[in-house]
Amino acid sequence: MSTVTVKVNVNGTPRTIEVESRTSLADLLRDRVRLTGTHLGCEQGVCGSCTVLMDGLPVRSCLTLAASCDGAEVVTVEGLDDADAHRLRQHFSTEGALQCGFCTSGMLVTGYELVRRRTEMDRDQVACALAGNICRCTGYNGIIRAVQKANDDGMAVDDLT
């Protein structure tokens, strides 16, 4: 088995990790960095539970080879730690967007990416943007409301500054 050395910045911490060349980013994060907030669901890129930000864009970490992340900035759900993330988590709580929690990390990462865009979105646009993340518990309404409210709040804060 061939190995590669990957230099990656995970949640603001630079890391150099030697992995097998076939190792996924999800496995690197979970097994080598011990960040287990990134969940593995379908391992086919369909469910979205493994979504992380790589260089600012959402990616399916189960389909992304760790070797392709050399030099990248990766943010997991554990690394979402600013006003947008706190607002989003608060709305997830108040809007009933949490149940079993399996999809939550992927939903939060995807929702966070939407919120930080500061683009006005109606319910259908939020639903479409979240369509790549599957939830089997909540029926999506609470999740959509939470993202929409966090987005609206973020835009209002920007208007005040």
Tens of pLDDT, residues 83-135: 999 999 999 999 999 888 889 999 999 999 999 998 899 999 999 999 999 98
pTM as predicted: 0.92
Q: For residue 80, what are the contacts with CB-CB under 8 A and spacing of at least 6?
A: 88, 108, 109, 112
State the CATH number of the domain containing residue 57: 3.10.20.30
pLDDT on residue 101: 85
Identify the burial level of 161 via C-beta atoms within 10 angstroms of its C-beta, where 0-12 means exposed, 13-18 middle and 19 or more buried: exposed
Cα 30 from Cα 154, distance rounded (Å): 31
Asked whether residue 28 falls in the same domain as residue 47, the answer is yes
| pLDDT above 90 (res 63) | yes
- For residue 148, the enclosing domain spans 83-160
141 phi and psi, to 5 degrees? Answer: -60, -45
35 and 76 in contact (C-beta within 8 Å)?
yes
Asked whether residue 66 falls in the same domain as residue 112, the answer is no
Asked whether residue 67 falls in the same domain as residue 97, the answer is no
